[in-house]
Amino acid sequence: MDSGFPTDDVAPIAILMDELRSEDVQLRLNAIHSIPTIALALGPDRARQELIPFLQDSVDDEDEVLLALAEELGGFEEYIGGKEHTHILLGPLENLSAVEETLVRDKAAESINKLAASLSPAQIEEFYIPLLKRLSSGEWFTSRTSSAALYAAVYPKVSPAIQDDLRKGYAALGADDTPMVRRAAAKWLGSLIKQLSSAHVLSDGLPIYRRLQGDDQDSVRLLTVEDLIAIAQSLSPAEVKDQLLKQIRGSITDKSWRVRYMAASHFNELAEAVGTELVREELIGHFVQLLKDNEAEVRTAAAGQIPAFSKQLEREVILARVVPCVRDLSTDTSQHVRAALANQICGLAPLLAREATTEHLLPLFLHLLKDDFPEVRLNIISKLETVNDVIGIEMLSENLLPAIVELAEDKSWRVRQAIIEYIPLLAKQLGRTFFDAQLSNLCMSWLGDTVYSIREAATVNLRKLIEVFGLDWARTAIVPRVMGMGSHPNYLFRMTTVQAITIIAPALDLEVIRGEIVDPLLQLAGDAIPNIRFNVAKALEVVGKSYNTTAEGQALVSQRIKPALEQLSKDPDADVQYFASRGLKNVK
Query: What one-character-per-residue DSSP string does 307-354 give?
Result: HHHHTTS-HHHIIIIIHHHHHHHTT-S-HHHHHHHHHHGGGGHHHHHH
Domain 9-119 bears CATH identifier 1.10.760.10: no
Can you tell me the distance from the alpha carbon of 545 to that of 164, in angstroms, rounded to the nearest whole number?
Answer: 70
Contact 115, 90 (CB under 8 A): yes
What per-residue string of b and e applies to 219-245 under the rule 16 or more CB within 10 Å gives b?
A: ebbbbbbbbbbbbbbbbeeebbbebbe
Cβ atoms < 10 Å from Cβ of 294: 8
What per-residue string of b and e applies to 494-510 under the rule 16 or more CB within 10 Å gives b?
A: bbbbbbbbbbbbebbeb
Q: How far apart are the first and last CA of the chain?
A: 43
Helix, strand, coil % in the chain, rounded to nearest 5: 80, 0, 20
Angle, vertex CA 527, rays to CA 522 and CA 530, nearest 5: 115
Give the pLDDT of the chain (588 residues) as one tens digit per residue. 344 444 444 455 666 666 666 666 777 777 777 788 888 888 888 888 888 888 787 666 678 888 888 888 888 888 888 888 888 888 888 888 888 888 999 999 999 999 888 888 998 999 899 999 999 998 889 999 999 999 999 999 999 999 999 999 999 999 999 999 999 999 999 999 999 998 999 999 999 999 999 999 999 999 999 999 999 999 888 888 888 888 899 999 999 999 999 999 999 999 998 888 888 888 999 999 999 999 999 999 999 999 999 998 899 999 999 999 999 999 999 999 999 999 888 888 888 888 888 888 888 888 888 888 878 877 887 777 777 777 776 666 676 677 777 777 778 888 888 888 878 877 776 778 878 877 888 888 888 888 888 888 889 999 999 988 988 888 888 888 888 888 888 888 888 899 999 898 888 888 888 888 888 889 988 889 999 999 999 999 898 888 877 888 888 888 888 999 999 999 999 999 999 899 888 887
In the chain, where the domains are located = 9-119
Chain Cα centroid distance, residue 362: 30
Distances in Å between the Cα of 313 and the Cα atoms of 238, 279, 318, 351 are 20, 8, 6, 9
Can you tell me the distance from the alpha carbon of 477 to that of 329, in angstroms, rounded to the nearest whole number?
Answer: 43
CB contact set of 241 (below 8 Å; sequence gap of 6+) = 274, 277, 278
Contact 405, 442 (CB under 8 A): yes
The pLDDT, as a whole number, for residue 4 is 42
Angle, vertex CA 393, rays to CA 392 and CA 399, nearest 5: 100
